Amino acid sequence: MRVVIFGASGMVGSGVLLECLEDARVAAVLAVGRHPCGVSHPKVEEALHADFFDYTALRPRFAGLDACFFCLGVSAARLDEATYRRLTYDLTLAAARALLEASPALTFCYVSGQGTDGSGRSRMMWARVKGETENALLALPFRAAFMVRPGIIQPLKGVRSKTRLYQAFYTAARPLLPALRRILPGHVTTTVAVGRAMIRLALQGDARRVLETRDLNRLAAGA
């Protein structure tokens, strides 16, 4: 399987990348990002890209891909709805449409978030915008598309968050997170579980097209 990862230098993306490198079923990874992912491996080919609304230059490299793991995302903090929508909905759909043109048989896995609202009724702006993004992706004629909604994600295997506040939380909560995963399997997962679940979705699919934390942990356990 040949995959593309968007956001491989971020916490979720780097976790997914590590699982791809360890899985023999993944033959090659194209890592698309503004910054180097910091991983040198025979499977990895990097594509440093500046304009995430125009993929004209990258479309030849998108041909023949089997799966996309879209792990890019921004916090809604201090952003108005128009800006957040452009950096979430518009940015994601620009990549999805370019991939669809080059590899229509691809499986698209989008990392959304727990609490995302696909009905458009949520009072939380980010939840509505994420829901709109999910709905638009599900409407595209890919071979398959899956919306991944993790809750709290414990970084493992040396993965760290680039956001200082988040990393401080993970560091402080590290002794508690394994117990919380057992007590709250519907709310807590790991970068390993997210990566393994997404690989399994790309290879085998699932009856659910929108997957919550509990579903990710289930898929990872069977991977």
Can you give the pLDDT at residue 213? Answer: 96
**Among residues 209, 30, 39, which one has the least CA distance to residue 134?**
209
Backbone angles phi, psi at 181, to 5 degrees: -65, -35
- Domain limits for position 48: 2-221
For residues 216 and 213, give the distance between their C-alpha atoms in angstroms, rounded to a whole number. 5
As a three-state string, the secondary structure of 48-90 is ECCCCCCCHHHHHHHCCCCEEEECCCCCCCCCCHHHHHHHHHH
Count how many domains the chain has: 1
Q: Work out whether the CA dihedral 89, 148, 178, 17 comes out positive or negative.
A: negative
pLDDT of residue 70: 98
Check residue 158 and give its pLDDT. 75
Domain of residue 45, CATH code: 3.40.50.720
pLDDT by residue for the chain (223 residues), tens digit each?
Answer: 999 999 999 999 999 999 999 999 999 999 999 989 889 999 999 999 999 999 999 999 999 999 999 999 998 988 999 999 999 999 999 999 999 999 999 999 999 999 999 998 899 999 999 999 999 999 999 999 999 999 989 888 778 666 666 666 666 667 776 776 677 777 889 999 999 999 999 999 999 999 999 999 999 998 6
Q: Using the CB atoms, write b or e for 119-150: b if 16+ within 10 Å.
A: eeebeeebbbbbbbbbeebbeeebebbbbbbb
